[in-house]
A and B are shown apart, each in its own frame.
Chain A
């Protein structure tokens, strides 16, 4: 964490006992409050009214194709690094109706917009990588030309309370993408968890107002040092990494590399990596019609470049081989995004490694593909 970074935070100190009151502020302001909750042996975003619902001492041990929660003796509430999903499903819904149609008696078709109804929602414990991914999804779904109203309505209802990561999973590599483990930007309130409480600071105007209202004592020098040590520890725990963006661009020069076929042999083409990736945005659409044939809904649902239909036009499929699908995903994510969105599409969360049923590791794939110079092989 840079000195500039810390200076900009100017955090106040919140005793552990005040956390419930802090949560209550949002409820009083009319927010639905989501936080990390242990469910199905993972960390999930669920509605929380009381801090007792938060996972005390719960750490997430992650590896290639492995996710296990462990309870340790510390009293940390944000020791887990992350769960199976970032914020993506809360904004870019996995399945939703885009419009509704009704066939009228006179042959006219009545087309109705269907927009989501949302409550203002505050999310506690958002990670730095999640925020970096959110910024990318914002750039995609809130493009100037055609902002997505469904996404926008949900996005505008969000209040984000980020928390620095104090521990990394073995699959994390956000230090190499520059997206963590300390919070960068994009949150309304930032927090760091210390042994005896929290440092908190405003990240937006509305976040700043709430922090001001709490009248926190400014953090001491020792507390600021602890805050740095926490994220330093998380950073030191990371052993995977991605090369810089300039090198990643060279993936497009490696289209004929033999490693694609090696990965293609192992890849199940199941699409799990794309579904858990916090920046993947592909979807497909299709109608659902009632049996009476009078009304229908146009639905969109998450799709994946690992599905056959994704690259199909009629009977013709561009990417029949799994190796080509994996190549499409990796080159697009790491190189194509740079041209489209000004940066790589990977924020270093490592979910694609954890949730791959056979544990394919994109950092290993990139190392194999870029190893041995940058010329085509």
Chain B
């Protein structure tokens, strides 16, 4: 007997579409997915039915316009289980940097006429507006984590979320520490794992697109980064970057350098 497949919707809010793209890049598992779920809404891939009631909703993007607020409430109402995916949906994203800046000045600097722009005074995570059942981090999200969460939900089990620091993943994968060998200003020790240690495995410092790990000792890391030659300003910018809306990073950054962010950089 063929049971009805659970319905899945993928919604976009204020974002670059990169997380949806990450899902499209899943390859074979993306083709396998429709065997187990009915994708009712995924505008980037075709199906367009944003108001359908679904079992699982994946939400990309932050809330940054009055319309976003109304829409996310609707999505929440229509979805039994809501997963926020990616840095924007979980922390407010890169655009949350404006929360710390003189927004009007930035607007005037970017747009010829700012009176046609309708925006909220801040860009915030989905969880600040509606109940979120699961957050999957990253810029973009790791699509393997998304399918693992779906696999759990399909059998009625609560998905687990990764919270350990990236260092653990680097060490498990045998990736050599870029900070210890090359003095790279790596954010790995305070950053949530899940990316597969992508940057360090290419010899580059982690810039924390997954946001804060379970334990964040920002003071000790900031001191270390400064001893590697970074200015206080530069250290602050490493915390205030893609996930500046995540409280541990926002607070860390603001401790190092009070707002507002200047527009000329």
Contacts and interface: CB of A to CB of B under 8 A. Distances in A.
Contacts, number: 123
Interface string B159-174: 0100111011001111
Interface in B1-37: 29, 32-33, 35-36
B261 interface: no
Given A41-B181, A291-B33, A270 B189 contact: yes
8 contacts: A266-B220, A267-B217, A268-B221, A272-B167, A275-B171, A293-B154, A307-B164, A359-B224
Interface of B: 29, 32-33, 35-36, 147-148, 150-152, 154-155, 160, 163-165, 167-168, 171-174, 176-177, 179-182, 186, 188-190, 203, 214-215, 217, 219-221, 223-224
A272 B217 CA distance: 14
Contact of A66 (B150, B174, B180, B215): B180
B174 A271 contact: no
Contact of B147 (A269, A291, A301): A291
A156 B203 CA distance: 34
Interface string A69-84: 0000000000000001
A357 B167 CA distance: 10
B176 A84 contact: yes
- Most chain A CB atoms below 10 A, which of B171, B173, B182, B217: B171
Contacts of B29: 291
Contact of B220 (A42, A267, A302, A306): A267
B167 A275 contact: yes
Contact of A65 (B35, B152, B164, B224): B224
A316 B221 CA distance: 27
Given A270-B189, A355-B180, A275 B163 contact: no
A229 interface: no
A322 B181 contact: no
Interface of A: 39-42, 44, 65-68, 84-85, 89, 94-95, 265-272, 275-276, 286, 288-293, 301-304, 306-309, 322, 354-355, 357-359
Contact of A94 (B32, B152, B174, B189): B174
B165 A270 contact: yes
Contact of A271 (B33, B163, B171): B171
Contacts of B147: 291
Given A290-B151, A359-B224, 4 more contacts: A40-B176, A272-B177, A288-B148, A322-B215
Nearest to A284: B164
Contacts of A268: 165, 167, 189-190, 215, 217, 220-221
Contacts of B174: 44, 85, 89, 94
Contacts of A303: 168
A307 B168 contact: yes
A290 B35 CA distance: 13
A144 B151 CA distance: 39
- Most chain A CB atoms below 10 A, which of B151, B164, B188: B164
Given A275-B167, A289-B152, A358-B220, A41 B176 contact: yes
A65 B36 contact: no
Contacts of A65: 179-180, 224
B180 A301 contact: no
Contacts of B177: 67, 84, 272, 355, 357
Contact of A357 (B155, B186, B219): B186
Given A85-B174, A293-B151, A322-B217, A271 B164 contact: yes
A286 B159 CA distance: 12
A302 B165 contact: no
Contacts of A355: 177, 180
Nearest to B223: A358
B35 A292 contact: yes
B180 A291 contact: no
A68 B181 contact: yes
Nearest to B203: A40
A289 B181 contact: no
B181 A291 contact: no
A292 B172 CA distance: 28
Contacts of B171: 94, 271-272, 275-276, 302
B168 A270 contact: yes
Contacts of A354: 180
B217 A291 contact: no
Given A270-B189, A290-B151, A41 B215 contact: no
Closest 10 CB pairs of A and B: A275-B171, A94-B172, A40-B176, A270-B189, A270-B167, A268-B189, A269-B215, A308-B214, A270-B165, A41-B181
- Most chain B CB atoms below 10 A, which of A84, A95, A265, A301: A84
Contacts of A291: 29, 32-33, 36, 147, 150-151, 154
B224 A292 contact: no
B168 A357 contact: no
A269 B164 CA distance: 10
A302 B173 CA distance: 10
- Most chain B CB atoms below 10 A, which of A270, A289, A306: A270
B195 to A, nearest CB: 16
A273 B15 CA distance: 38
Contacts of A293: 36, 151, 154-155
